[in-house]
Structure 1
Amino acid sequence: MTEHETTHDRDGAQVSTGTTVEPGETAEAAIPELVIISGMSGAGRSTAAKCLEDLGWFVVDNLPPALIPTMVELGARSQGNVARIAVVVDVRGRQFFDALRESLADLDSKGVTRRIVFLESSDDALVRRFESVRRPHPLQGDGRITDGIAAERDLLRELRGDADLVIDTSSLNVHELRAKMDAQFAGDEEPELRATVMSFGYKYGLPVDADLVVDCRFIPNPHWVPELRPFTGLNEEVSGYVFSQPGAKEFLDRYTELLQLIATGYRREGKRYVTIAVGCTGGKHRSVAMSEKLAARLASEGVETVVVHRDMGRE
Structure 2
Amino acid sequence: MKDQPSGNQRVILVTGPSGAGRSTAINALEDLGYEAIDNIPLHLIPRLLEAESVPRPLALGVDIRNRDFSVGALLDLQREMTAHPGIAAQLLYLDCAPAVLARRFSETRRRHPMAPDDSYSEGIAMELELLEEARTAADILLDTSELSPHDLRAQIEGWFGDATGQQLAVSLHSFSYKRGLPLGVDMVFDCRFLDNPHWEPSLRGLTGLDAPVAEYVAADARFAPFVEKLTDLALFVLPACVAEGKAHLSFGLGCTGGQHRSVAVAETLARALADHGWQVSIRHRELERRGLAARERGGTGEGAQA
TM-score, normalised with respect to structure 1: 0.47
TM-score, normalised with respect to structure 2: 0.49
Structure number with greater Rg is: 1
